[in-house]
Amino acid sequence: MTGSMVAVGLALAAAGFAVRYALQAAKQMEPQVKQAFQSFPKTAFGSGYYRGGFEPTMNKREASLILGVSPTANNKKIREAHRKLMILNHPDRGGSPYLAAKINEAKDLLDSQMKYK
């Protein structure tokens, strides 16, 4: 009985020392870890997405950002991108009516500008 209590005490002490060592090592490694994260490309962590709200009136740039196509994309690419986004964001399938309206507005704007070219 006494031998098992000593063994448990030694195991707890060893675990405590291991945690203390790990915390001290983490403090020393913090500047190197920060530098490593800063050297990664920004798009690897999702910051490649457009940050900001919608413009009061949609323009060609915003429409192409919403659909994820080039501002000079052809009609086929615009329709494919619109279809994919509407499948994911349709209000009948739990999507936001506001986002669906913006997706439709983006498609309409890019379609209408393609007709005038």
Q: Could you give the CA distance from residue 71 to residue 58 in angstroms, rounded to a whole number? A: 13
Query: Which residue type is seen at 19?
Result: V
Selection from 27-41, 48-62, 97-111 with the highest mean pLDDT: 97-111
Token representation of residue 89: 């964001």
| pLDDT tens digits for range 45-99 | 455 566 677 888 899 989 998 999 998 889 999 999 999 999 999 999 999 999 9
Would you state the pLDDT for residue 50? 61
SS3 state of residue 83: helix
This prediction's pTM: 0.56
